[in-house]
Amino acid sequence: MTVVAQTLGSFNPNSLLKHSQKELDELFKTLPALTEGELEGVYRGRLFAIMGLGILPRFLRNLLYRLLQTFINPWKGKRFDGDNGANIWFSKRGTLPYGFYSINSQDSAVDGEPVTHLSYDVDKNLRILRPVRGETRKLSDGVYLARMNYQTRKKLVRVLYFTLDNIS
Amino acid sequence: MTNKYDVIVIGSGFGGSVSSYHLAKAGAKVLLLERGPWRDTEPVRAMGIKKRSHLPAGSHFYTHILNRFSAPWLPKSGVKVNTHGLFDIHYDRDMSVVCSSGVGGGSHVYSAMNIRPAVDAYWDNHVDGVSTDMMEPHYQWMIDKMGARPPALDDNIPNFTGKRYEDSPHFVADESVQQPAMSMDMSSNPENFSNNSFFGCVGWSKATLDKILLSPAINAGLEVKALQECLGIYRIDGPSATSYRLEVMDHQTKRHTYYQADRIILAAGTLNTQRLLFRSRDNGGLSGMPSLGCNFGGNGDFPAYWGVNEKGADFSIGTPSHGRFELRDYPSCPNFTEYGMSGIDDVPLVGNAVRNRLKRDLVLVGMGADRANGAFTWKNGRLRTRYIQHNNPIIGAIAKAFEEISRRSGKKVWFTNKRLLTVHPLGGARLASNQNDGVVNEQGEVYGNPGLFIADASALPAAPGSPPSMTIAAWACHVSQTLSNKI
């Protein structure tokens, strides 16, 4: 008898809040790349695994990242429009975009596997934002795991991880 | 990707070891994950495994006896006592469960009884494609691998029931009572007959799965990772095929880690398999399984303490179980197996009075096929067992027979049927012909989740009514051989 796959339930991104950057690196390595044009529209973001906070106990990190999902954090997520996109602020509707990026598919500079690459090297951005490099892969249906790297002169530094989930 | 395998097997008990063995021998790239450690036994030392954990004995007894204790009033995941501990205790109102942890699973602590189901035609009439005749070669293969045979009178095994009840007017253990084949070295060396049961066996006398199956499988390419506890299974639906991602807690580094495989064999033991399936479905990793948790049972296990206090006796020596016996002239007598307090010499106790008394007493276990009509429930991340004793007449029959044993022997048999205890939990993901009646199909594959297989007691279609290790092994043989033909 052939077993047919049934539709999966939704993945809870909060289950990743206690993870360290190293753990998320391992998870990220196992994730599949996105299909072209898969990200389109407005996505809610959740920040975690912020550089330097790994020294905190897991429960404290979990608490802090949950706080960052409340109104105190002005960053609400990202908007994707074809080959371009921007971060959205204050409102989940995406009416206040800032922090622009171009989108393309390429191999990750970290693990060499295919990713959807977000390059902040865009004229509209402040100079300080331009070395930011985002990488995105699919976590489950409608949920994506992404990381923000910062290109210094010497190396690529992992700043944080975040998830994007479709709010429509 | 280095963490990608053809098959990942979760759990190294009878289901997991047998599956790993067959798949590794078939040439698949197989990873075996085990939440417990390698045990510090002579066969494991001989395998060259460097990191080993003590069995609970001597100064390590109290530190290494318990892995996790869970109860309704404790946090939902229970209290972790020691990752290197041997036993998990799941206390619950209807039925409590004790199971073990470590590479080789229950083979370290089981009573070495290698026996077919007590129920005739056990595998028949559940699903098309699985029958008792078809499963028989799997039983025989496993019993041969374990080198098991029934004890005989001229083996001169201490405390063997066949000898002890030879002239008893009350009890019978002659050839009319089928003695189980035991995977033990029954040669005359006295060392073979001590410390070989509940608390594990350090020496070579008891056949354990690490030496019998895992060692040759490792030589065939199997990768075994101990102290890796699977926390979640996530299905990845690709454009052309389905694969799985496992979230694993590495207890050595205290970090989450991830593995990927095209196929997963779940053999973590009934309770842990249930936890993993419920949790993964909650987390959006798996789908379907409307019958998950149904048809749980304790295989009619009913332990009791027999205050024999026989002068000059030392029941702590012998094979892990002393064998079976029945009540003479007692119609429809349930199965009884007798145990001494094996390993009691290595348990630190104050003074010798308690130890000496324990050596003179016995543990009785009654067993029979219950109706496996209980259920596992899952609420807010907590697994509970539900089991209505009155719906399972075997429990009452065993209790009645205990009273008769007490009456005939003149020695008190202590038992309670208010709180049932089993070491053989089964069901919850049973074999059935459709997803409304069960969780797995005739190949052991989970309905709605292609590539995910179950090869432990949670998939059994009914209670075998006898120690289920060979039945689990036979099922795992069937599942893994069917799968290896596809790879």
Q: Which domains does chain B have, with CATH numbers?
A: 4-486 (3.50.50.60)
Distance from CA of A151 to the nearest CA of B (A): 25
Beta partners for residue B337, in sequence order: B324, B365
Q: What is the mean pLDDT of residues A63-84?
A: 93
Q: Determine contact: B258 vs chain A, CB below 8 A.
A: yes
Q: Determine contact: A112 vs chain B, CB below 8 A.
A: no
> Where do the domains of chain A lie, and which CATH numbers do they carry?
13-166 (2.40.128)
- pLDDT tens-digit readout, B102-137: 999 999 999 999 999 999 999 999 999 999 999 999
Nearest to B287 among A1, A6, A20 (CB): A6
pLDDT at B6 over 70: yes
What pLDDT is recorded for position B418? 85
What pLDDT is recorded for position A141? 84
pLDDT at B347 over 70: yes
Query: Which element (helix H / strand E) includes A20?
Result: none
pLDDT at B358 over 80: yes
Nearest to B441 among A1, A6, A10 (CB): A1
**pLDDT level of residue B188 (50, 70, 90 thresholds):** confident
pLDDT at B440 over 80: yes
Q: Determine contact: A15 vs chain B, CB below 8 A.
A: yes
In this structure, are residues B290 and B120 in contact, taking their beta carbons and an 8 Å threshold?
no
pLDDT at B472 over 80: yes
Chain A hits for B450, CB-CB cut-off 8 Å, are 2-5
What pLDDT is recorded for position A96? 82
* ipTM score of complex: 0.86
What pLDDT is recorded for position A140? 86
Q: What is the mean pLDDT of residues B447-452?
A: 96
What pLDDT is recorded for position B267? 98
Chain A hits for B378, CB-CB cut-off 8 Å, are none
Q: Determine contact: B286 vs chain A, CB below 8 A.
A: yes
Q: Determine contact: B244 vs chain A, CB below 8 A.
A: no
Coil vs helix vs strand at A149: strand
What pLDDT is recorded for position A70? 92
- Calculate the average pLDDT of chain B: 95
- pLDDT tens-digit readout, A7-45: 777 788 888 999 999 999 999 998 988 988 889 999 999
What pLDDT is recorded for position A148? 96
Distance, CA of B255 to CA of B135 (rounded, Å): 41
Please spell the DSSP secondary structure of B401-439, one letter per residue: HHHHHHHHHSS-EE--SSSEEES--EEES-B-SSTTT-S
- pLDDT tens-digit readout, B209-257: 999 999 999 999 999 999 999 999 999 988 788 999 999 999 999 999 9
CB contact under 8 A, A26 and B258: yes
In this structure, which amino acid lies at residue B226? A
**pLDDT level of residue B2 (50, 70, 90 thresholds):** low
Q: What is the mean pLDDT of residues B466-486?
A: 96
What pLDDT is recorded for position A168? 58
Q: Determine contact: A166 vs chain B, CB below 8 A.
A: no
Q: What is the mean pLDDT of residues B423-443?
A: 97
Which DSSP state fits B214?
A: I
Q: Which of A2, A16, A30 to mutate to probe the B interface, most B CBs <10 Å? A: A30
pLDDT at B487 over 90: no
What pLDDT is recorded for position B189? 83
Coil vs helix vs strand at B21: helix
